[in-house]
Structure 1
Amino acid sequence: MAPIPVVGRGAPGKPLLEIEGLHIAFGARDRWFEAVRGVDLRIHAGEVVGVVGESGSGKSLTALAIMRLLPRGARISSGRMRFAGTDLLALDERGMNRLRGSAMGMIFQDPLTALNPALPVGHQIADSIRTHQGLGRAAALARAEALLDLVGIARPRERLRAFPHELSGGMRQRVMTALAVANDPRLLIADEPTTALDVTVQAQVMAMLDRIRRELGIAVLFISHNLELVAEVCDRVAVMYAGRVVEGAVVEALFEAPRHPYTRQLLRCIPRLNDETGPMPTIPGLPPRLGAIPGGCPFAPRCDAAFARCTAEAPDIWRRGDHMARCWEALR
């Protein structure tokens, strides 16, 4: 099946990143179970694309596959990924190392585990700069100091000597961002960049990311379970469930007229301070387990709009311009 174009504002021309039919499986020997099942995704230069869904939907695996950093036991079983015209799956490890940290940067979910605990943060940033730009030590440290200032860390010269455990969660996330953009990437992947941060620090981190994105003019793949954040910063959004993109649209269309029942359920679960109707809504049931994805539409067992065909056949795709959904109910 051809990839589904969901081109939004500010996204003319050829995509910077194009993913077609991406499949990722977990297992060993002759027992493999698909966790990502045919993802299509496009990101154009300068735009922000959000990927949302519950835990286990395949969001982070898709991001790690782009960087070719899948965990042990996982593999890309089929599909195509092209970045700026380069076939990512055809590159050897040396070629990927040249792209990682330079043309593509990534902010990981947990900066405390992503950063080296044995090295000061300034040295980690400087080492990346020296590797990709060939600068001397003094020049690389000066660049690292400027980057810490760019991401809003006070007294950046002092913080160059700090170890990760000496910094707060919000400051570690800023350091991770400085490391990700140290070599002027064209694409920044932000995987749940506000996880475990309080609301105030979340807002600060998101404002910092948006400012850096605008100043540097980079494309961003923003992975989150928080639809409010997605609405604030993204141009387009892809909703994932059970390893597939089930809906994709520009942000305004998705929030104003969602076509997939799963998207509608996610939107109902956004907490609202002025809502006095009772407990916050939840989606009944749980996502399917790996290796136990039901036939038909995988969301059907939890869907309030399901009918007989939903459990019998995998849904066709509904399209209206830039908006798509994999859903029989949308096609009725």
Structure 2
Amino acid sequence: MTDDPLLRIDGLHVAFGERSRWHDAVRGVDLRIHRGEVVGLVGESGSGKSLTALAVMGLLPRGAKVSSGRVVFDGIDLTAPGKVERLRGARIGMIFQDPLSALNPAIPVGRQITDSLRTHQRLGAADARDRAEALFDLVGIARPRERLRAYAHELSGGMRQRVMTALAVANDPELLIADEPTTALDVTVQAQVMAMLDRVRRELGIAILFISHNLELVAEVCDRVSVMYAGRVVEEAAVETLFGRPRHPYTRQLLRCTPRLDGETGPMPTIPGLPPRLGAVPPGCPFAPRCDAAFDRCTAETPGIWREGPHMAVCWEALR
């Protein structure tokens, strides 16, 4: 890896609202991804993971906007007008959470890939069809020529996820954003999808931002992990360090909630309470009302940053 990251996010704020009433849902995210690296982004639903990814892609929903901060890809500021549209689908690909809603139901899946190839690479019809068939083979779709003629609703969930991956990597992107790529898939299909992503990474040499709530998968595939809570990254470390020596209480509680595979039975641990609502983030540390290590300073002051080399945590308890 070079010292310069492929993707650099600095102080990203994403807000929802209208007119003069805006509330930050993503509150100052900093993130780095180097070429060929897999970075995990984890946290509970509503923590801001997918919004961060959509901000990178320039695909924020109606009523949301980047209110401040920078997203820089290979030296190009993606928040500048017209920049991200030139890179989306070409140098940056994305696998969405629900491929059935992301794929066009009215045309065969093969045509969706050939249209992308012809748009970005100006291939002829025959060359685009050959390339699409090779992509289906890369992601493990049997009988690829036949499957090119299928519609999204005719395919299983795992097969649609493979098609979505083929579409995302069709133009040899340098960065792939995988947003919950195994959601709603059974364990066997999850394993197949993860093996497929690993194969794509190795053969194409791309960097991946892997967004997931499944910490077991994150531990298997990621080089580094960023943990988000209430719109901020609260801890970041190499995967071995984060899973072996977490410093933020939220990370520790997430890890305790991971299903056990050692045969022990009992109720699944949970984190008490709920994340703060949009526009209702409490003063001090947002996690303090749910934290088992909180003390008076946690509810009164914005947490300081603890660092030990590349390991970072935004937490007063870590600084004690």
TM-score range, shorter chain: over 0.9
| Count of residue pairs brought into register by the alignment | 320
| TM-score, with structure 2 as normaliser | 0.99
CA contact (8 A) 2:224 2:237 kept: yes
Alpha-carbon distance between aligned partners in 2 of 1:98 and 1:246, rounded to the nearest angstrom: 32
Pair 1:22 & 2:12 matched: yes
Matching residue of 1:224 = 212
Pair 1:156 & 2:140 matched: no
Match for residue 264 of structure 1 among 252, 262, 269: 252
1:25 maps to a residue whose letter is: A
Alpha-carbon distance between aligned partners in 1 of 2:58 and 2:21, rounded to the nearest angstrom: 22
Matching residue of 1:307 = 295
- Give how far 1:138 is off: 1.3
CA contact (8 A) 2:110 2:132 kept: yes
2:46 maps to a residue whose letter is: G
Match for residue 35 of structure 1 among 13, 25, 28: 25
Alpha-carbon distance between aligned partners in 1 of 2:294 and 2:157, rounded to the nearest angstrom: 42
Alpha-carbon distance between aligned partners in 1 of 2:84 and 2:286, rounded to the nearest angstrom: 34
Helix, strand or coil for the counterpart of 1:189? Answer: strand
Alpha-carbon distance between aligned partners in 1 of 2:308 and 2:93, rounded to the nearest angstrom: 33
Matching residue of 1:85 = 75
CA contact (8 A) 1:98 1:132 kept: no
Matching residue of 1:64 = 54
Alpha-carbon distance between aligned partners in 2 of 1:309 and 1:13, rounded to the nearest angstrom: 36
Name stretches of at least 5 consecutive residues in structure 2 with no aligned partner.
Answer: none
1:76 maps to a residue whose letter is: V
Q: Deviations over 1:112-158 (max 9, x none)?
A: 00000001000000000000000011111111111001100000000
Q: Deviations over 1:266-312 (max 9, x none)?
A: 00001012252521100001101101110000000000000000000
Equivalent positions of 1:1-332 (< 5 A) are 11-92=1-82, 95-276=83-264, 278-332=266-320
Q: Deviations over 1:157-198 (max 9, x none)?
A: 000000000000000000000000000000000000000000
Alpha-carbon distance between aligned partners in 1 of 2:179 and 2:265, rounded to the nearest angstrom: 33
CA contact (8 A) 2:117 2:171 kept: yes
Stretch deviating more after TM superposition (114-123 or 274-283)? 274-283
Percent identity for Structure 1 against Structure 2: 80
- Give how far 1:30 is off: 1.1
Runs of 4+ residues deviating >6 angstroms: none
CA contact (8 A) 2:58 2:85 kept: no
Name stretches of at least 5 consecutive residues in structure 1 with no aligned partner.
Answer: 1-10
CA contact (8 A) 2:6 2:34 kept: yes
Alpha-carbon distance between aligned partners in 1 of 2:10 and 2:163, rounded to the nearest angstrom: 33
Alpha-carbon distance between aligned partners in 1 of 2:264 and 2:308, rounded to the nearest angstrom: 35
- Give how far 1:90 is off: 1.2
1:134 maps to a residue whose letter is: R
1:15 maps to a residue whose letter is: P
- Give how far 1:97 is off: 2.5
Alpha-carbon distance between aligned partners in 1 of 2:3 and 2:144, rounded to the nearest angstrom: 39
